[in-house]
Chains A and B, each alone.
Chain A
Amino acid sequence: MSAEAHGHDHGHDHEHEHHHKDTFITKYIFSIDHKMIAKQYLITGIIMGIIGIAMSLLFRMQLAWPEESFKIFNVLLGDKFAPDGVMANDIYLALVTIHGTIMVFFVLTAGLSGTFSNLLIPLQIGARDMASGFMNMISYWLFFLSAVVMLCSLFVEAGPASAGWTIYPPLSALPQAIPGSGTGMTLWLVSMAIFIASSLMGSLNYIVTVINLRTKGMSMTRLPLTIWTFFVTAIIGVISFPVLLSAALLLIFDRSFGTSFFLSDIYIAGEVLHYQGGSPVLFEHLFWFLGHPEVYIVILPAMGLVSEIMATNSRKPIFGYRAMIMSVLAIAFLSTIVWGHHMFLSGMNPFLGSVFTFTTLLIAIPSAVKAFNWITTLWKGNLQFNPAMLFSIGMVSTFITGGLTGIILGDSTLDINVHDTYFVIAHFHLVMGISALYGMFAGIYHWFPKMYGRMLNKNLGYIHFWITAVCAYGVFFPMHFIGLAGLPRRYYTNTNFPLFDDLQNVNVLITTFALVGGAFQLVFLYNFFSSIFYGKKAVQNPWKSTTLEWTTPVEHIHGNWPGEIPHVYRWPYDYSNPNHDVDFVPQNVPMKEGEEVLHH
């Protein structure tokens, strides 16, 4: 026993010495400390988020006031793409493409999962750091590099990639088909290849850390749901991202070396190209084999964060802890066998469509379990409406609203007529875009004290949430109707179709909500950046939470805990446990003599 304690002390001394030698560069730039890397992910994610959302506001303005002149277009897009302030049609597609890419990969994958997996995995399982701090650092810097390459692609001569974020060939393979498929597309592919390498390194690290570095007593069934979702997310990432990498590589081969994996029988710009025998449908399969799990890579961490925050702020255990784990596993498993629902009308055999309809609609069952369990968690709670709690409730709300329309889109028969219309935009923005964004905001409001040792201003948080909540519904709810009217997505303007003239007022309304909602994100940005420096000092456990991260000191230290790592004696949701007088019992508090476990 004493030898073990000695070993720990020794380890700690070593850490301590190391800490003193930190220079600016090792501490803030090439840091191997998971807490610093989490913050790096977050700040990078926020910057990318600003760019991604700003782009959406630009193309929303074009949709509401088509081909009207706005000075800001000319300022931001330049004379080539917005002469006299009128947005050109090819840059419209580029904006749509890069908005999707940035939001899905750079904000909601790296920014969300990268931030919170890094921050919370070691802290919540009781580990001094990630299994490989060095690999973790490389993972961040590869992500940073990929973001830089993606941003560089915005400035190439012919414009950035414009074939949609799904980059279906042949459009993405042939510069003759769209200018953005030249250098812009090359940079897009390079950026994504680097991104995937980054993501794989991060995911492997998360998996190894969760499996090997849990503190004494932290069995898998005592893990907070956050860790479960990060763990499962990392597994899905490792399974599916390499497939996108192979798709990207094969596309690079088709583009640069004249192979025909995805291309066949093409006549363009007055000549027949040499490609023969390839199939764009193959690319669609490879793309969506990642692309669909990707939406769960985005939403699962948000679900984990929301579960944790809801339990803490309801002062109640999360309802159905084991059912929540089972549903996460079920969703993860199903997510890898439903990709074909993006391809009902791709020309693949309709029989496959039947199979994918079946597997897709099955996902509604674990999703329903999760939604009902969250609602039941609120029942008879003692709800503390911190901003994080508001965003969590908002997430459940948008997840339900957006998820329900999935029953329509996942049904091949109904998909025929709403496929690729604004109905799809409304659906996925609510169910994975806004929901994941809410999860991310909830996480930021909740763990800001852990990251920066200071509190975010709650009143600004309330304003941020309510305006965002109204605007999110204001933007995406009306989109269902214009989708049902048959309006296709990715149209630069609808003025060529008098049939759609009666939708124009709705488009103006949507854009107005988008502009207001976008502008109010500035409230969050102000709150975030000013609170880093001037926020109220945080106490050690401001939300009276049970998980281990709140047992670490407010000031960050290498190795997380100054002394021995705490042992774990109970599950993470002992809120309002009738055996105790206080309304929360942290995981490191031993069971009282004769105390029974009150949950399954």
Chain B
Amino acid sequence: MTSLLVIIVLVLLAVALWQLTKIFDLTQVGSSSDDSQVASDNDNNVQGYIMFGFLAFIYIFTIYGLLKWGNLALHTPASEHGLLVDSLMNITWVLIFTVQVITQGLLYWFSFKYKGNKDKKALFFADSNKLEAIWSIIPSVVLAVLILYGLYAWNNIMFVDKDEDVVEIELYAQQFKWTARYAGQDNVLGKANVRLIEGINTLGVDMSDPNAQDDIVVTELHIPKGKKVHFKMRSQDVLHSAYFPHFRAQMNCVPGMVTEFAFVPTYTTAEYRELPFMVQKVANINKLRNEKSAELVAKGGTALDPYTFDYLLLCNKICGASHYNMQMKVVVDSPEDYKKWLSEKTTLAQDIKAAAAAEKPAEGAEATTDTTAKVKDTVKAVIDTVKAAVAKVAVK
């Protein structure tokens, strides 16, 4: 319906403009001179005023945007380094707004002020070393400050101190879900490779590695407040990107290598929910959801659930058709709650044992899938040999 309205408005606008240009063209009948399509003094005047109007549009639109949408932007960072990121961001914003307001102002103000007419002659002003030196040096100095601050922050964030007491967690990405593996008592993650994926060992953990014996695999990420969490990321198929917007953290997950990112959460989920800006944001979202629910119910659908805030881990690198729905809930617990939550989880080794025990009665069913898999393997082997042969020929 909305789209229909938009289209109607468009058509009407187009018709109106069409008529307008016809009138313009008619007023120019008689002046058959060849420069009728070159800007006249009248055009310069009109366009000059519109230039000024457009400057007003940019300023007003900016102010409107800041007031109306400013509070949509991510607020209080939920991690230690996030404060550093945000303070650099704020400094940069002040600079950007200053430059934007001044340069756009000059650009359109000059356009308005120096709109041409036949009696005027422009000033021949070809160069000025002084001016050019000014606007080379000022940006250089300002940028030098930004670069230094930026590099300081970057080095602080990205280089993890090996001796530090950290919580080691593996983030495992696959189309289209996240899994997490905790290092367990020894705080060392067992080795893993996709070639070892089998049954419920979906992460390909090397169960012969002693470090792997106490590893815990979960689908909901819990991390303790106030402790540095060191994520090691893997992907089993395509590129993914682990994006924690509220923690100002992001890193790609690359098949074939382990990437890392570390941060210290500073608000538990419960605390973050209570922050005034978040209370307001959630209230606003729920208002919108209620409106939508009313619409849905009127159409015979089911109402939407009310929203409560949770930290999220999103995928932020195009990874396939369902990229838009690859997410994991992140919970920041107090250290005690975290310990309790983790202690209730079974290790991967226990899970595998339990699964093996449960599988025994259902062996018959397992066998059939085995044969299909075998057929697949044979076909694949044939294809591989052909491919290898082709490659050899290509090399030759």
A164-191: contact bitstring with B at CB < 8 Å (1 yes, 0 no)? 1000111100100111000000000000
B292-326 residues at the A interface, CB under 8 angstroms: 304, 307, 309, 312, 314-325
Check B316–A488 contact: CB distance below 8 A.
Answer: yes
Check B122–A177 contact: CB distance below 8 A.
Answer: no
B200-223 residues at the A interface, CB under 8 angstroms: 204
Check B132–A316 contact: CB distance below 8 A.
Answer: no
Check A376–B10 contact: CB distance below 8 A.
Answer: no
B17 interfacial contact with A, CB 8 Å: yes
A74 interfacial contact with B, CB 8 Å: no
B74 interfacial contact with A, CB 8 Å: yes
| A419 CB contacts on chain B under 8 angstroms | 241, 250, 316
Check A347–B110 contact: CB distance below 8 A.
Answer: no
**Given the interface contacts A381-B116, A575-B122, does A411 sit within 8 Å of B237 by beta carbon?**
no
Q: What CA separation (Å) do A506 and B64 show in the bound complex?
A: 13
| B143 CB contacts on chain A under 8 angstroms | 361-362, 364-365, 407
| B241 CB contacts on chain A under 8 angstroms | 345, 419-420
Of B88, B106, B251, the residue contacting A414 (CB under 8 A) is B88
**Given the interface contacts A177-B320, A268-B237, A404-B99, does A381 sit within 8 Å of B72 by beta carbon?**
no
A512-530 residues at the B interface, CB under 8 angstroms: 512, 515-516, 519-520, 522-523
Most buried by A among B7, B111, B131, B312: B111
Of A347, A474, A538, the residue contacting B254 (CB under 8 A) is A347
Check B256–A264 contact: CB distance below 8 A.
Answer: yes
| A179 CB contacts on chain B under 8 angstroms | 321
**Given the interface contacts A375-B103, A491-B323, does A501 sit within 8 Å of B285 by beta carbon?**
yes
Q: What CA separation (Å) do A365 and B126 show in the bound complex?
A: 20
Of B17, B47, B122, the residue contacting A385 (CB under 8 A) is B47
Which of A147-155, A222-230, A351-359 sits within the interface? A351-359
Check A315–B115 contact: CB distance below 8 A.
Answer: no
Check A369–B255 contact: CB distance below 8 A.
Answer: no
A574-592 residues at the B interface, CB under 8 angstroms: 575-578, 583
Of A177, A320, A536, the residue contacting B132 (CB under 8 A) is A320
Check B74–A417 contact: CB distance below 8 A.
Answer: yes
Which of A131-139, A196-204, A477-485 sits within the interface? A477-485
Of A163, A350, A372, A382, the residue contacting B158 (CB under 8 A) is A350
| B154 CB contacts on chain A under 8 angstroms | 350, 353-354, 357, 412-413
Q: What CA separation (Å) do A420 and B317 show in the bound complex?
A: 7
| A497 CB contacts on chain B under 8 angstroms | 312, 314, 327
A543 interfacial contact with B, CB 8 Å: yes
Most buried by B among A277, A357, A404: A404
Distance from B30 Cβ to chain A, minimum over Cβ atoms (Å): 14
Check A400–B114 contact: CB distance below 8 A.
Answer: no
Check B376–A350 contact: CB distance below 8 A.
Answer: no
Check A347–B147 contact: CB distance below 8 A.
Answer: no
B174-216 residues at the A interface, CB under 8 angstroms: 174-175, 193-195, 197, 204
| B288 CB contacts on chain A under 8 angstroms | 501-502, 504
Q: What CA separation (Å) do A455 and B175 show in the bound complex?
A: 55
Q: What CA separation (Å) do A473 and B60 show in the bound complex?
A: 12
Check B140–A278 contact: CB distance below 8 A.
Answer: no
Distance from A444 Cβ to chain B, minimum over Cβ atoms (Å): 14
**Given the interface contacts A317-B126, A420-B317, does A512 sit within 8 Å of B116 by beta carbon?**
no
Q: What CA separation (Å) do A536 and B34 show in the bound complex?
A: 7
Distance from B125 Cβ to chain A, minimum over Cβ atoms (Å): 7
B380 interfacial contact with A, CB 8 Å: yes
Distance from B37 Cβ to chain A, minimum over Cβ atoms (Å): 4
| Further pairs besides A382-B122, A390-B47, A499-B307: 7, Cβ < 8 Å | A171-B238, A381-B114, A400-B107, A416-B157, A417-B248, A485-B74, A522-B14
User: Residues of B with Cβ closer than 8 Å to A?
Assistant: 2-3, 6-7, 10, 13-14, 17, 20-21, 24-25, 34-39, 43-44, 47-48, 50-51, 54, 57-58, 61-62, 65, 69-70, 72-74, 84-85, 88-89, 92, 95-96, 99-100, 103-104, 106-108, 110-111, 114-117, 120-128, 131-132, 135-136, 139-140, 143, 146-147, 150-151, 153-155, 157-159, 174-175, 193-195, 197, 204, 236-239, 241, 243, 245-246, 248-252, 254-257, 259, 281, 284-285, 288-289, 304, 307, 309, 312, 314-325, 327, 376, 380, 384, 387-388, 390-391, 394
Could you show 8 A-B contacts with beta carbons less than 8 Å apart?
A354-B155, A357-B154, A383-B44, A463-B17, A481-B70, A491-B324, A497-B314, A501-B288
